[in-house]
Chains A and B, each alone.
Chain A
């Protein structure tokens, strides 16, 4: 148990489906992040939330919609995805102002068919 929990661990969805990824942390951190990790590619930062406010969106397509209702929970809502969106989606949290590094969840393996 890393302190950051992601559900589901695996998800298969069609291109017309709507689904959501969930991330939860109980570390008292105030920043949360979504990363995309595709095969043979570097980690891609998607979204950053500090104190529930989105502070960074790295040109992510609108078919990915994040939500951060409180400092402990982060969602990634998915709709009309493409096969190239298949990847491992990682959530991380940190104490934003201390630079102590991130604590990562185990990820959600997403397959779009």
Chain B
């Protein structure tokens, strides 16, 4: 069965420090992969997506993610975190054989300390 795992429920980093949020997926084919961000009380905003090609994907707000097929991972990174990055982050896999239906991970809550 398809699934997405975000091992870290909550992460705290200092402002200006680097960030890596982990995501592992289980899917029997090449997936579409996404990262979304959700600020409190808001909907989800797309940060970046991977369909094919270059495995390092650039997104909005200075985020990037790298697809590693051998590890079934799609980790999100940012070299220098800003206080405004505090939010919840969701990884998702798109099932192209089911019309692009998305399966979401449980989310990682990011706190940023001054």
Contacts and interface: CB of A to CB of B under 8 A. Distances in A.
B8 to A, nearest CB: 14
Residue from A2, A101, A104 having most chain B Cβ neighbours under 10 A: A101
B110 to A, nearest CB: 16
Interface stretch (B17-25, B70-78, B94-102): B94-102
Interface stretch (A63-71, A74-82, A90-98): A90-98
A109 B44 contact: no
Contact of B41 (A4, A100, A104, A109): A109
B100 A100 contact: yes
Nearest to A95: B100
B27 to A, nearest CB: 12
A7 to B, nearest CB: 13
B42 A43 contact: no
Interface in B19-45: 32, 34, 36, 41-45
Given A43-B104, A96-B99, A2 B32 contact: no
Interface in B51-102: 51, 90, 92, 94-96, 99-102
A99 interface: yes
